[in-house]
Amino acid sequence: MGVAPVLVAEQPKRGGASKPFQVKAQSSVAFNNKDGAETVEITNVTYEVAGPGIPGRAPDERLLVRRTIRTKQAMEEVGMEATSTVDVWPLGTDPRLKPIYSLTVSGSEAKIMAGELVVVSRGLEEVDWWSVHKLGTGEHLFDTYVAPLEFSITRDSRTMRYIGLEVPPDDTADARLKHPNVFAVLTYASGEGVIREALITCKTAKQAQMFRSFADATRNVTLLESPRAIRISISQNYPSAPATITMTVPIAKDDLDLTHVQAPTGVRIIAWKRN
């Protein structure tokens, strides 16, 4: 399941005030029963206004966001086929014109997070995971196999930060993440971009394999306060005993504090960067 190339093309500058327009969303549902095999195909189209204060756009700019979700599901089978398309225009631009970008990703849902990000739910079969993109440009930020966390680092105003944990699948494109001792990549990001990535490895390949298993283990990421830190917990699934282990990564000076990590023996969390 891949991400289509992000197309970025600025709208021509318009003189004077924006012109009124009206566009109707084209949603549909189709049910088929061929030789006893039932399938349902659904297309849902929704619009939303986002902004101001979107990273990568003018401070006072608002955007019109159109989300088109197409799903096809066979009633007797696990999972579904689904694509999420996000088209974005400056508010006031007729959406029949070319958007500033169009993002198409395999996934069953696309949401705007904190007015800064587009989060697409990618788990179409048995594993839940999400892709996170910048709302202002459509640029991919990170993937995560736990629900992305959001929080503000300031009290008086919203200065948002985001956390994700990517557990590399076997077919990952990055050869470094195929090493048998690698468990996951922890990401700390803002709406402008990734601030820090940390690679989590295990001393033994057997331990890493258990941590990475989608069938045998469940992973959770939570935010701790006073002092602020990220806690990663891993529990074995039934019928095994949970045997939960935890790792704690402090957050200091708007960054991951990798010098004061608390982790089980044999587990390392170190700074890392994608190519």
**Tens-digit pLDDT profile for residues 205-263:** 999 998 998 888 999 999 999 899 999 999 988 888 898 999 999 999 999 999 999 99
pLDDT-derived band at 17 (thresholds 50, 70, 90) equals: low
Which H helix or E strand runs over 208?
A: helix 205-212
pLDDT tens readout for residues 223-238:
999 899 999 999 988 8
Q: Are 117 and 132 in contact (CB under 8 A)?
A: yes
% of the chain at pLDDT higher than 70: 93
Residues 92, 104: Cα–Cα separation, whole Å: 23
pTM: 0.88
Cα four-point dihedral sign 105, 106, 112, 116: negative
